[in-house]
């Protein structure tokens, strides 16, 4: 068919998913391997090659041309083409991933962090299509972000820009995995909402279906489901999360004045549950000139596809 | 001499200063008029023409070519070429300044806010020369900012990006002129440090030379001078200001990961007095990956020249 295609690889702590994608965002071939089964990077690369090479052969057998490989990974650095000190991946230190994969497949390779890849995916195929200024906020175990300004992803002087999960919301707030206190992601993330729920269960007398569970059994999904079913205390946890997120977003707007903020990932999946109150708090907190002006929307990409689409879209952004 | 020149106009609440500048940042001719003497914009434009036209005639009489006029003004909007609802200027509502001045002088005109103009000036002629990612923070009556990413000024989707003085530092903090509470500029600005000083004088028993003054007589300059002379309470006011600013800058770094942050204006003039402790607090607060990596520096432009230089430098940035 002689069309240009791009490979997208999303490296997560548990699984690595990959696919071959056309310019319109159709995933033509896809596969996956276990990330955590390969403690040694060279064994991981062998497994990746074994999974991906047959897909490349199929695509090229059709006469299609593979333009390159885009990779989204935690702590991925765009400038260095590396993964650097990623706490949730099996490989320690600095992994020169772009070089390793370029040598293996003989294709141009571009690396960025997972949230940046999601932002590029959203801009190319999703809710931010055609936008030149927006902020992507990914709500998973932590809070990630990808910032687009003037149609370009913001990498900063060192490739690490957009760590909005580590904006400090409260000087003596909750202890964060980064060693500091009060970071946004300690409140707004899957783990953050569970911490809030546990605090509410301890501090309040209000009845709740969650009182039947042991603290260790409570997940963000359980909190959201309980809130959707009308549980008063779970609704309070959602409201608190929305208030902190809304205030943070109001500050981000003062920085880059985006056209929209796009929410993506686990916590955002519960539809309007988090979106509605967050929007209310955001517009109540934001400087007058932006009130009811900056959009807050959910991602339009299926979560299972988004990682591959975002990573693949990096290839179309590549400077030749 | 047949060189290209640019006009820079800085419109302040009290004075408007203007100059004709060469590409290396030499101000060849300059003048000023009173802004606040002209409540009517058309009378202001007449006065501006009267002041500026003779300078243009001189420059062109030398065979030099005027490429355009750059204007920095409070609430200046780059996209609209307008001044919009500026509380400290005599003209109300939206003033289509670029069109008015273009019609008057027959030259291309570009408008932006004063802090953005300062950032462009610093990038073209000052401490941020050659940098592609930095943040300019101007400490005057309020706190203004100009953000440069990938070598471009960040205007956002509507031209109003970079309102870092209105990032909320404390949810129920000090009342701000914008009607909200806890904005950065209520703590970090000439008026902010005076508010801090007055609070300390009320709340503490510590002796201070400032106790001899009436509250209304205390200015930021008096606080800084007292601190430089070793006054304990004034030093506390400076330290508190530095702590709030340092925490705020740490958050800004998480957003755009700049190579440097440049301080400019009144409060920054006291040399290392504010810079040193702010740097200490910034590096103590920032995420590990940026510790002792992002520079905090003072502007290298003379304050009297910076406004004209910055505004004129906008002309060289203009797309033809």
Q: B4-14 pLDDT, tens per residue?
A: 999 999 998 88
| B188 compared with A87, residue with greater pLDDT | B188
For domain B4-121+304-317, give its CATH number from 3.40.140.10, 3.30.420.40, 3.40.50.720, 3.20.20.80. 3.30.420.40
Mean local confidence (pLDDT), B46-55: 96
- What residues in A contact B157, CB-CB < 8 Å? 131-133, 257-259
Q: Give the pLDDT of residue B257.
A: 97
User: What's the CA gap between B72 and B52, in Å, rounded?
Assistant: 16
Q: Give the pLDDT of residue B1.
A: 65
Q: Tell me: pLDDT of B305 over 80.
A: yes
Q: Give the pLDDT of residue B55.
A: 96
**pLDDT tens-digit series, residues B200-246:** 999 999 999 999 999 999 999 999 999 999 999 999 999 999 999 99
**pLDDT tens-digit series, residues A209-256:** 999 999 999 999 999 999 999 999 999 999 999 999 999 999 999 999
pLDDT bracket for residue B256 (50, 70, 90): very high
CA nearest neighbour of B237 among B283, B265, B198, B184: B198
Q: Tell me: pLDDT of B319 over 70.
A: no
Point out the residue among B178, B255, B256 whose CB comes nearest to the CB of A288.
B178
If DSSP codes are grouped into helix, strand and coil, which group holds residue A253?
helix
Q: Give the pLDDT of residue A319.
A: 66
If DSSP codes are grouped into helix, strand and coil, which group holds residue A137?
strand
Q: Give the pLDDT of residue A267.
A: 80
ipTM above 0.90, yes or no: yes
- What residues in A contact B152, CB-CB < 8 Å? 150
Mean local confidence (pLDDT), B27-33: 95
User: What's the CA gap between A81 and B215, in Å, rounded?
Assistant: 57
Strand partners, A261: A135, A296
Give the C-alpha distances (Å, rounded to integers) separating B18 from A180, A216, B30, B180: 47, 67, 6, 34
With beta carbons less than 8 A apart as the criterion, state whether B171 and A187 touch: no
**pLDDT tens-digit series, residues A62-108:** 889 999 999 999 889 999 999 998 888 999 899 999 999 999 999 99
CA nearest neighbour of A71 among A145, A7, A9, A14: A9
Domain range list for chain A? 4-121+304-317, 129-299
Contact B161 A257 (CB under 8 A): yes
Q: Give the pLDDT of residue B85.
A: 86
For A254, name the nearest residue in chain B, comparing CA atoms only: B163
If DSSP codes are grouped into helix, strand and coil, which group holds residue A191?
helix
CB-based contacts of A226: which residues, under 8 Å, 6+ apart?
Answer: A208, A209, A210, A233, A234
| Vertex B308: Cα angle to B306 and B310 (nearest 5) | 65
| A194 compared with B2, residue with greater pLDDT | A194
| A90 compared with B270, residue with greater pLDDT | A90
With beta carbons less than 8 A apart as the criterion, state whether A95 and A67 touch: no
User: What's the CA gap between B95 and B84, in Å, rounded?
Assistant: 6
User: What's the CA gap between A230 and B58, in Å, rounded?
Assistant: 76
| Vertex A194: Cα angle to B285 and A121 (nearest 5) | 75
A129-299, which class in CATH?
alpha beta
Q: Which residue has the tokens 């802004």?
A: B35
CA nearest neighbour of B57 among B27, B21, B20, B25: B20
User: What's the CA gap between A158 and A153, in Å, rounded?
Assistant: 13
- pTM of the full predicted structure? 0.93
Mean local confidence (pLDDT), B87-93: 88
Q: Percent of chain B beyond pLDDT 90?
A: 86
**pLDDT < 70 stretches in chain A:** 1, 319-320
Q: What residues of chain A have any CB closer than 8 angstroms to a CB in chain B?
A: 131-133, 147, 149-150, 152, 154-164, 166-168, 171, 178-180, 247, 250-252, 254-259, 285, 287-290, 293
Q: Do domains B4-121+304-317 and B129-299 have the same CATH topology?
A: yes
């Amino acid at each position: 068919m002689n069309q240009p295609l791009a490979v997208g690889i999303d490296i997560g702590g548990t699984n690595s998913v990959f696919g071959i994608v056309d310019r319109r965002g159709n995933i033509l071939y896809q596969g996956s391997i276990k990330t955590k089964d390969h403690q040694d990077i060279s064994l991981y690369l062998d497994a990746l090659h074994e999974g991906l090479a047959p897909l490349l052969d199929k695509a090229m057998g059709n006469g299609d041309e593979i333009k390159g490989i885009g990779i989204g990974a935690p702590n991925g650095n765009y400038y260095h083409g590396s993964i650097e000190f990623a706490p949730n991946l099996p490989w320690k230190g600095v992994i020169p991933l772009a070089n390793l994969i370029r040598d293996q497949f003989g294709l141009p390779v571009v690396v960025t962090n997972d949230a940046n890849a999601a932002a590029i995916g959203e801009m190319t195929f999703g809710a931010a299509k055609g936008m030149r200024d927006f902020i992507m906020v990914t709500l998973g175990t932590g809070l990630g972000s990808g910032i687009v300004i003037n149609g370009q992803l913001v990498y900063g002087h060192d490739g690490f820009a957009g760590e909005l999960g580590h904006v400090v919301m409260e000087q003596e707030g909750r202890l964060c995995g980064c060693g500091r206190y009060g970071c946004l992601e300690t409140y707004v993330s899957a783990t953050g909402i569970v911490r809030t729920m546990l605090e509410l269960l301890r501090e309040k007398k209000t009845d709740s279906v969650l009182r039947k569970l042991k603290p260790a059994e409570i997940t963000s999904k359980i909190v959201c489901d309980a809130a959707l079913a009308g549980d008063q205390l779970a609704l309070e946890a959602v409201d608190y999360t929305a208030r902190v997120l809304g205030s943070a977003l109001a500050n981000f707007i003062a920085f880059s004045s985006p056209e929209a903020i796009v929410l993506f990932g686990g916590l955002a999946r519960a539809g309007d549950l988090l979106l509605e109150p967050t929007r209310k708090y955001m517009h109540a907190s934001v400087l007058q000139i932006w009130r009811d002006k900056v959009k807050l929307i959910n991602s339009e990409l299926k979560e299972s596809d988004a990682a591959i689409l975002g990573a693949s879209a990096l290839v179309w952004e590549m400077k030749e």
